[in-house]
Each structure stands twice: as structure tokens, then as C-alpha cells.
A and B are shown apart, each in its own frame.
Chain A
Amino acid sequence: GDSVTQMEGPVTLSEEAFLTINCTYTATGYPSLFWYVQYPGEGLQLLLKATKADDKGSNKGFEATYRKETTSFHLEKGSVQVSDSAVYFCALSTDRGSTLGRLYFGRGTQLTVWP
């Protein structure tokens, strides 16, 4: 079935360090891929998304490229800030059947950035 596997955390970085959070997926058809972020005490909010192969999603300095050949959607940021400390979730959305539009989430990666 459809599923997402993402890098286990926690991840701890110093400010201005480079960030990569790995995400791979298993899906039939042509899913859309998402990164959601959850700041402390809040619900999830969309960070970025990509809806077809080779698309790159980007927002707030974060980027991820939909790679069909490696079934991956890794999240990257060149220089993290303290304010990026949050939990990051990779997710996919199916494009077929009775589950059209539901999201399958990874387990989340806790990121802590120190000044």
C-alpha cells in the first residue's frame, strides 16, 4: 500500500547549518508529495508541495524535488535559523480509488536549531 518513510530524529543543528531530512515513498499511480511543519503548540501547516515528477517545491528557503526514479522527496535548507525548530512531516496524497485525496504521513522529524 501507499506509505512514507522519513528520517528518524531528532535532528540538532547550529544556526546557519545545512539541513537535509530524507523522505522516501511507496505508491501506486502518481501521488502528490508534501512537507508539513508543526511549530510548538500548533497544528500542522503546509510548507511546500510537488504534484508531479521533477517538480520542485519551495518556501521560506526550504526546497524539495519530486524524484520518481528514486521515489524520494528530501527536504533541504541551506542555512537554518532558530525559528525553524519544529517537527517536519513528509506526506503523500493518492490519486486514485476510494482514498482519493487522503494523506499518508511519515512519522515526523523533530528539528532543533541552536543559536
Chain B
Amino acid sequence: DVKVTQSSRYLVKRTGEKVFLECVQDMDHENMFWYRQDPGLGLRLIYFSYDVKMKEKGDIPEGYSVSREKKERFSLILESASTNQTSMYLCASSLLGAGGPRETQYFGPGTRLLVL
């Protein structure tokens, strides 16, 4: 089974802190994604990556950065946390492969971040 793990289930940080959210997948997937989930807004894509050291902006990249130094690991960084970044953060991965758009994304359990 594909496994996507996230470093923390719950996290409490203070405004202005630098926050690192880590995601690791064990299925050698090329694609990795970071979403945030807010009530009534569904899932919104923050950043994604198709390969090591490669990144693409999603729909809401402001206030975030990412790092992909190894294929299995994709980190989301909040450079200076703000209260409006309080949210559920979900990581996902998928094969690039010949399946292209048909490939399933596999999700981690999520990190619920509270910024005070």
C-alpha cells in the first residue's frame, strides 16, 4: 500500500514563527502536492512538484515556500506564520507515468496547524 506520512497531526505556533511541515511518501512517486483545506472552500493547491528540486506554484502560494531535495520528501515552509494560515494542510503524491491525468493521488492524514 502507498503510504504518505506527515510529520505532525497537530501543531501550534506563534505569529511570526517559521514553520516547517514535512511530507514523506514511500512509493517512489514523482509528483507531490501541498493543499490547504478550509471549511466551505474545499482543497486549494499551494505548491506542487514533478521532480527533485522542481516546484510549481498552485493557486495560493503567497506566504509559503517549498523544498524538494529528495524524491520521497516534500516540505512546506511558512516563512513567517500568520493567523490566516491556521488551517488543515494535506500532502499528496502520485505517479507521473504514462497514466498522466488518470493517476490517483494518495493523501497523508493531514496536519492541523493553529497560529496564535
Interface residues of A (CB under 8 A from B): 31-32, 34, 36, 41-46, 49, 51, 89, 93-95, 98, 100-103, 105-108
Chain B positions 36 through 51: 1 when the CB is less than 8 Å from some CB of chain A, otherwise 0: 0000111111001000
Task: Report whether B33 and A32 are in contact in the complex, using a CB–CB cutoff of 8 Å.
Answer: no
A94 to B90, CA, bound (A): 20
In the complex, chain B residues whose CB is within 8 Å of the CB of A101: 31, 94, 96, 100-101, 103
Task: Report whether B43 and A89 are in contact in the complex, using a CB–CB cutoff of 8 Å.
Answer: yes
In the complex, chain B residues whose CB is within 8 Å of the CB of A36: 107
**What class of interface size applies to chain B in its complex with A?**
20 to 34
Task: Report whether A95 and B100 are in contact in the complex, using a CB–CB cutoff of 8 Å.
Answer: yes
Contacts A93-B102, A103-B45, A108-B42 aside, 7 further interface pairs with beta carbons under 8 A come to: A41-B109, A89-B43, A94-B101, A102-B58, A103-B43, A103-B105, A107-B42
In the complex, chain A residues whose CB is within 8 Å of the CB of B108: 43
In the complex, chain A residues whose CB is within 8 Å of the CB of B94: 101
Q: Give the number of residue pairs across the A-B interface with Cβ within 8 Å.
A: 61
Task: Report whether A46 and B90 are in contact in the complex, using a CB–CB cutoff of 8 Å.
Answer: no
The residue from A44, A89, A95 contacting B101, defined by CB atoms under 8 A apart: A95
A95 to B101, CA, bound (A): 5
A86 to B66, CA, bound (A): 30
User: B24 to chain A: closest CB distance in Å?
Assistant: 14
The answer, yes or no, to whether B79 is at the interface (CB within 8 Å) is no
User: A50 to chain B: closest CB distance in Å?
Assistant: 9
Task: Report whether A102 and B42 are in contact in the complex, using a CB–CB cutoff of 8 Å.
Answer: no
User: A36 to chain B: closest CB distance in Å?
Assistant: 8
In the complex, chain A residues whose CB is within 8 Å of the CB of B107: 36, 43-45
Task: Report whether B101 and A46 are in contact in the complex, using a CB–CB cutoff of 8 Å.
Answer: no
In the complex, chain A residues whose CB is within 8 Å of the CB of B58: 102
Write the chain A residue with the least CB distance to B56: A98
User: A57 to chain B: closest CB distance in Å?
Assistant: 11
Write the chain A residue with the least CB distance to B109: A43
User: B20 to chain A: closest CB distance in Å?
Assistant: 19
Those of B70-88 within 8 Å (CB) of chain A? none
In the complex, chain B residues whose CB is within 8 Å of the CB of A42: 109-110
In the complex, chain B residues whose CB is within 8 Å of the CB of A34: 104
